[in-house]
Homo-oligomer: A and B are copies of this chain.
Amino acid sequence: MFNTTTIIGLIAAFCTTLSFLPQALQTIKTKDTSGISLSMYSLFTFGTVLWFIFGIMSTNYPIMIANGITLVLALIILTYKIRYK
């Protein structure tokens, strides 16, 4: 089965991926994007697209799934930042 290192990696991926959910929910609810950096979410969203492409090219499903979820959440935050800045 999974060894300790793999389990730590899976929990790590779960935390960093899911962490964008409360940010997206807060941003949708409050429309408050004043403290959020446009540069961060532009660069981060672009990077996540590249991670997703990397996942496809290396047929790595965990990377595809984790970055697919993160991409949707980051795109929501970026869209709100551009719309309600």
Interface of A is mostly: helix
In the complex, are the beta carbons of B5 and A48 less than 8 A apart?
no
A26 to B16, CA, bound (A): 21
A12 to B12, CA, bound (A): 18
Q: How many copies does the complex hold?
A: 2
Chain B residues, Cβ within 8 Å of A8: 50, 53-54, 57
A44 to B80, CA, bound (A): 20
**Interface residue? A47 (CB, 8 A):** yes
In the complex, are the beta carbons of A43 and B58 less than 8 A apart?
no
In the complex, are the beta carbons of A50 and B19 less than 8 A apart?
no
Within 8 A of B (CB), among A16-41: 16, 18-23, 25-27, 30, 32-37, 39-41
